[in-house]
Amino acid sequence: MSSTPNETGKGVLYATGAFFIWGLFPLYWKPLHAVPALQILCHRIVWSAVFVAIVLLVQRNWRWLGDSLRDGARLRVFALSSLLLSFNWLIYIWAVNENRVVEASLGYFINPLVNVLLGRLFLGERLTRTQGIAIGLATLGVAWLTLSVGTLPWVALSLAATFGVYGLLRKKAPLPSLEGLALETFLMLPLALAALLWFAVRGDGAFGQLGLATDALLMGAGVVTAIPLLLFASGARRLKLATVGLIQYLGPTIQLLLGVWLYHEPFGSSRAIGFGLIWAALALYSGHGLLGYLKARRAAAA
């Protein structure tokens, strides 16, 4: 990974672009509110597979696919990761169109802390005292939201858990971003196509029934899925993990603002307290990581 100022600047630009697009995702899925979330998911899988296949054809980048199909262990891991990613997409799309953007944003705020916890439980990574306090604060925030609202924020917890375990699985069978997305969508493609065919035969398929604008948005789901992933991969290769960790909060922050200001979802004092505890946890976690990065950099310079 290059550390030149020019490459670092590009990395910040690419990573910021990726999280900015992810933050704007509610604006894309909201106009599709008349389409059931499961159908949107199936179209997202199908058109993502089409888009990445075109990119791979242009790049003439297919050798990895044969190796992956012959690797049983990798296939099993990616089959499970593709299921988790599909569940994550389904829950998020459903939440946006059920006016739960604020709760969905909470899931991506707590996701970094879930990653730390999963690393401790499954990878044997040791928690620092600061990380432990951060996870404790986030747990208090979730508990407060549960008690004040009367229900567990299952949308947020499901999004954080599915994406956290997805990342854990991808550590076990790593592939670059484009190739990983391609394998995941190719594995889910038969199921998605079968489901769309079933919807069409039953007479309640949305494609071709709700106008050209809806059809265009469904087809464009593949592009809007792949582009931020490719931007993120390009940015992550050029940046330190601590830098990416700070930029990643841009996405859920934009989603939260859209939920409160554009879609007028409730955000009273009870939610503010719960979110405040989680933001305090994130500030502690990010500040600790940033200080560690700066100390390591000073030590390397010395």
Distance CA 135, CA 111 (A): 11
159 has a pLDDT exceeding 70: yes
Task: Please report the pLDDT score of residue 24 as a whole number.
Answer: 93
Encode pLDDT of 53-91 as tens digits.
998 999 888 888 888 888 888 889 899 989 998 999 999
Tokens of 289: 């990581």
Mean of the per-residue pLDDT values of the chain = 84
Six-digit token string for 179: 């190739």
What pLDDT is attached to residue 186? 93
The single-letter DSSP state of residue 32 is G
What's the helix, strand, coil split of the chain in %, to 5? 85, 0, 15
For residues 197 and 156, what is the distance between their CA atoms, to the nearest angstrom? 31
| DSSP per-residue string spanning 46-57 | HHHHHHHHHHHH
pLDDT at 86: 92
Chain segment 115-153, per-residue pLDDT in tens? 778 877 887 777 778 878 888 888 888 888 888 767 788
Predicted confidence at residue 1, as pLDDT, reads: 44
pLDDT of 128 reads 79
- Mean per-residue pLDDT, 11-34: 89
From CA 6, how far away is CA 4, in angstroms rounded? 5
Do you know the residue count of the chain? Answer: 302
What phi, psi does 91 have (nearest 5°)?
-60, -40
Cα(152)–Cα(135) distance, rounded to whole angstroms?
A: 17
Spatial distance between the Cα atoms of 162 and 92, rounded to a whole number of angstroms: 11
The reported pLDDT for the residue numbered 204 is: 86
Looking at residue 216, its pLDDT comes to: 93
Q: What tokens appear for 180 in the block?
A: 């990983």
Q: What's the predicted TM-score (pTM) here?
A: 0.84
Q: Could you read off the pLDDT of 246-297 as tens digits, one per residue? A: 677 888 889 999 999 999 998 888 888 888 888 888 788 777 766 766 676 7
Handedness of CA 200, 194, 101, 241 (dihedral sign): negative
Extract the tokens encoding 193. Answer: 């196509």
Instruction: Determine the pLDDT at residue 143.
Output: 87
Q: Exposure pattern of 30-59 as b/e (b: 16+ CB <10 Å)?
A: eebeebbbebbbbbbbbbbbebbbeebeee
Chain-centroid distance, C-alpha 29? 15
CB 241 within 8 A of CB 107: no
Give percent of the chain with pLDDT exceeding 70.
90
